[in-house]
Structure 1
Amino acid sequence: MNPKAGGLPNSLKPEINLEKLQKLVTEVMLPGRFILRPMNATLEILTDTLAWILGSHLIRRHFHLMLSGLVLFGPVLSFWASKYSIFANSNHYLYRKFLRSTWGWTCILTASLVAVISFSACRRFPLCLRHLSRLGVASWLWWGCRRLLTMLEDATGTCYEPVAAPQEAQSSDSAAQALLLLHEDQTKASCLRANMLWRGYEVSQDILILSFCCLLLVEEMSVFGQHLAQEKRLQRSPGAPCRLLFLLCAFLLLIWVLLLLCLLAYFPVWPAHQLGGALGYLGWRGLYQGWYRLNVSWGSPGLPGEGLFNHLS
């Protein structure tokens, strides 16, 4: 042995055995496969069931009627809603994290699902962009509607500052209301920031966007059953990521319906909620039941699934 060499002799040097390494990796991954298989089977059963429900004739034809009935008669639930419930608190986690970013959550998850389904079905980038453009049109419609409603509220409303009533008046008439001092040239946002009172025409933008997002999600998710059928005919698997995206969209739909119920039951405002629901319905009706059914020559992006599964029918 050379005393100048600081390493081990060749007989004592560790050797990497690829067969032993591969066997070790297989033994480590074996328990994970036993865990992932039932989870994957559960995911397939759950997504197949939801795809069948959302793609059924009953849901596709009558979901808007169910939602309209909920918006119209939902305030009746306020007679049984407890003011001590956690949902009666406007600072609840659901309201803070989801209600103010309803369109953002809807757009991100729905766009991801539409992109995956479109590209898996046709492998054509222009057609994928065409289907994604439906969300662009809906975003523009929501932005324009929100700006228009804000301008309408500012033009028709009035800002008031509460003024304490004299003690004599309070003692003589306990039901007398405090005097109000009128403030002109105030917008609704600036008035509320100054802790003053706003009185005027109002449309619930929360109910509007929740109703519109529920209808949009059902429309976009209804073609997932056709996507599963196409993958089965081609003897391919949609894959866990695609199924997981669909499941997240279904969970988001459930959250929006829950928030809609909470707003109607715990914070009833008549007729602002009903007007917001009506505008959300009209937006869906004008797009999915109107413009999207027209030919491409009219600039229509088409209905969900249009041009993706025709060649297999």
Structure 2
Amino acid sequence: MATKRRPLRPNLAPGQSSGSNMNFRPGGPDITRSEARGTRPTAAPTSIREILVMGVIHLCKKTIFFNTDLKVALYLGSLFIISLIGDFLPFPKTYFARSDNLFNLYFVKVGWGWTLLFAVPFAVLSAYTITCGDMKRMLRHHFPRIVIATFFWFFWTKLFNIVETSYGRCTTKGFQSKSSCLRAGHLWQGFDISGHAFILIHSSLVLIEEARPIIKWETIKEHLRNELHNRSVSEKTGSNPLRGLNDEQMRSLQFLYTRLTPIIRTLFIGMAALQLLWDIMLVGTMLYYHRMIEKVISGIIAILTWYFTYRFWYPTNGLLPEAPGNGVFYYQRESVPFKRPTHLHTCTPSANNQASSSGLKANPNGSSQWSAGKVGGQSSSAQQQIPTFMGMPLFTNVKAASAAASLLQAEQQKREHQQAGVES
């Protein structure tokens, strides 16, 4: 049986307006719509399938976005140490020691093709979405990254072959070229810079960088929901990254995000799995193929190529192409962390005692503080903390928080006066 709701504030004066009897805490008479609480639209219910997908995405993010700088250091250190040990103390032979193993034949030897198979559609679809369907901007600002990465792959692998062919010799005299020596069944000895080590490291780093648009991709949905609400109520203020988009861009973004997100997530899972495979195959290359110096040189070239492009060239403003994740709006902005305060009372000894007596603990380390202003004609200079619920701030600015705190303090003083009258 339904029961009547109990008013949130039953001890109101008889002369107060009926608007004050509504079952929510108002932010004060001078609070604008952008400062009001409880007016934002809520997210739709999440299905079991969506929860499972997001769990897989989270696991893939943890795998592929492992600290890149640390991973680069591990690449160089492992290439040197493991390869040096293998030069003097050969490791036990396993399946990966065979040059005709399944992974080597169908993955490593055509490794750049596998990388492009996932990286190209992911980069195109994610960039097309965050540019709100602007094909020219996508082709000019984002697609060239794939072209540049392919150029460096072709350039360095061809140069490695030229070095080996030009500065090597056949184990049997009478053969001046590598091709004729190999056709005769002999061996060609030269400085063979490891193309496998280069392509595996180069492909891994390209996959990591090109996958970065997936970071905070889910927040675009929330930004769309809030911005559409703001426009429906003619709200012009706020910090939503989509507020600078026109109506046509908003419609395009909403359509593309809804249609392309499942495909983008699937491609990202494939990129994470492929990047993990490249790391495993790199370990096999370290153990069984090439000499230490040949693998270290190829690894240094791959890392320098990555650093020059993704860490120096692309982040530079004014130079094309742009870094992954850049579009007509920026959705990967870091949010300002808030420490969760547990009450609205001023940080005085009496307030702390009251909080502890009611089962709450005062939080003196809150970073966001504000002044309470004047309450009931008396000045209150103590600093108070912005209240939060489940880690999110309840107020959007100082004025809203100050008005609510003043109202609560006035009610507390009224209760104290009534209690003092009863005791006397």
Label 1:146 to 1:76 Cα distance change in 2 as closer, same or farther (>3 A): closer
Q: Provide the rounded CA distance (Å) in 2 between the counterparts of 1:108 and 1:291.
A: 24
Which range is displaced more, 137-146 or 300-309? 300-309
Partner of 1:96: 105
Q: Provide the rounded CA distance (Å) in 1 between the counterparts of 2:224 and 2:103.
A: 41
Label 1:290 to 1:194 Cα distance change in 2 as closer, same or farther (>3 A): farther
> How far does residue 82 in structure 1 lie from its aligned partner after superposition?
2.3
Partner of 2:305: 283
Q: Provide the rounded CA distance (Å) in 1 between the counterparts of 2:288 and 2:164.
A: 23
What does 1:162-201 align with in structure 2 at a 5 Å threshold? 181-184=173-176, 186=177, 188-201=178-191
Q: TM-score, normalised by structure 1?
A: 0.72
Which range is displaced more, 107-116 or 191-200? 191-200
Tell me the alpha carbon deviations over residues 22-77 of structure 1, each in whole angstroms, 9 at most, x when there is no partner: xxxxxxxxxxxxxxx7555322211034336645xx62443322222232223267
What does 1:204-215 align with in structure 2 at a 5 Å threshold? 204-215=194-205
Label 1:82 to 1:218 Cα distance change in 2 as closer, same or farther (>3 A): same
Gaps of 5+ in 2: 1-46, 226-256, 334-424
**Contact 1:48/1:225, CA 8 A, preserved across alignment:** no
**Contact 2:194/2:290, CA 8 A, preserved across alignment:** no
Q: Provide the rounded CA distance (Å) in 2 between the counterparts of 1:149 and 1:105.
A: 21
Gaps of 5+ in 1: 1-36, 162-180
Partner of 1:48: 58
How many positions carry a matched residue from both structures? 251
The structure 2 residue matched to 1:225, chosen from 215, 221, 228, is 215
State the secondary structure of the residue aligned to 1:310. Answer: coil
Partner of 1:117: 126
Q: Provide the rounded CA distance (Å) in 2 between the counterparts of 1:91 and 1:125.
A: 43
Counterpart AA for 1:43: V
Counterpart AA for 2:185: N
> How far does residue 261 in structure 1 lie from its aligned partner after superposition?
0.4
Q: TM-score, normalised by structure 2?
A: 0.54
**Contact 2:64/2:275, CA 8 A, preserved across alignment:** no
The structure 2 residue matched to 1:68, chosen from 62, 76, 80, is 76
Q: Provide the rounded CA distance (Å) in 1 between the counterparts of 2:120 and 2:224.
A: 24
Q: Provide the rounded CA distance (Å) in 2 between the counterparts of 1:50 and 1:87.
A: 25
Q: Provide the rounded CA distance (Å) in 2 between the counterparts of 1:70 and 1:246.
A: 27
**Contact 1:117/1:227, CA 8 A, preserved across alignment:** no
Tell me the alpha carbon deviations over residues 67-119 of structure 1, each in whole angstroms, 9 at most, x when there is no partner: 22232223267458421x22121111000000111111101200111112111
> How far does residue 159 in structure 1 lie from its aligned partner after superposition?
1.7
What does 1:229-244 align with in structure 2 at a 5 Å threshold? 229-235=219-225, 239-244=261-266
Which of the pair is proportionally richer in helix? 1
| Larger RCO, structure (CA 8 Å, separation 6 or more) | 1
Q: Provide the rounded CA distance (Å) in 2 between the counterparts of 1:250 and 1:75.
A: 26
Partner of 1:271: 293
Partner of 1:147: 158
